Amino acid sequence: MDWRVELSRVEPDPPLRFDFELTPVAGGITVMGDIQAVVSHRCHRCLAEWTEEVIQDVAQMITTEGDEDDDYRLEGDVYDFEVLVRDELMLGLPIAPLCRPDCAGLVAEAGNDLNTGLAEEEAALSSPFSVLKDLLDDGA
């Protein structure tokens, strides 16, 4: 299982768990419950990595009638929940995860993390490439 989006990935260990309640209704079966998984994220501002447990609520319907274009369709007596679980879990992940709501990101010139408390000027000067900036200023 390699379920990932740009900056988030579902960890294979521990395995994900889901707890569904299936209820027969006219035209199909309703699926209610939740999915629990461990997900690794990379902050889109500062590139910090962290892992967290995610619980995704599920409310879907598996149809027995209708078009073949329906998302979840029951063919026969057995249903493979992998597609439903993957879709619900992946659609619940953030497109641009943040390590914390007030993440300041990186200094554009130096690439230093602004969350460390360094001022932008200090961070730029602490860069090993700061001496190259002087070369560009003198030669221009």
pLDDT band at 46 (very low <50, low <70, confident <90, very high): confident
Distance (Å, whole) CA 110 – CA 65: 59
β-bridge mates for residue 23, sequence order: 30
pTM, two decimal places:
0.70
Where are any strands of DSSP class E within the chain?
4-5, 8-10, 17-25, 28-42, 49-63
Are 106 and 47 within 8 A, CB to CB?
Answer: yes
* Average pLDDT for 72-96: 90
Residue boundaries of the structural domains of the chain? 4-101, 104-140
Q: What b/e sequence results for 10-44 when a residue is b if at least 16 CB atoms lie within 10 Å of its CB, and e otherwise? A: beeeeebebebeeeeeeebbebeeebebbbebebb
Q: Look at residue 84 and tell me whether its pLDDT is greater than 90.
A: yes
